[in-house]
Structure 1
Amino acid sequence: MSDAAQPTAAEVRAAAEAVKTALDRHLAAVERRTGDDDPAVYAAFNELAAAAEEYDELLYERYDEVTPFEIPAPEDGVPYRGPSEPRAFSVLIRRDYQVAEPLRLVAQAQRVSAFDREPDPADAAGTAGALGVLFGEYEPDEIASRYKEFGLEEGDSTLWIAAAEEPAEPGEWLSAPFDHTDAGQVLHRFEVSSVFDDEEADEADALR
Structure 2
Amino acid sequence: MTADDDAIVGRVMPPQLDVLDARSRILDAAAHLFRREGFSGTSMDAIAALARMSKRTLYAGFPDKRAVLEAVLEQFIARRFAMIERIGCEAASDEAILTRMVCALNAMATDEDALAMYRLLVAEATNLPALALAANRNGLTQAQAMLRQPLLNCGVRDPDRAACFLYDLAVLAPMHRLLVGTDNLHMDVAAIVGLVLEGVKGM
TM-score under structure 2 length normalisation:
0.30
Comparing both chains, which one has the higher relative contact order based on Cα–Cα distances under 8 Å and sequence gaps of 6 or more?
1
Higher helix residue share: 2
Higher strand residue share: 1
Between Structure 1 and Structure 2, whose CA radius of gyration is higher? Answer: 1
TM-score under structure 1 length normalisation:
0.29
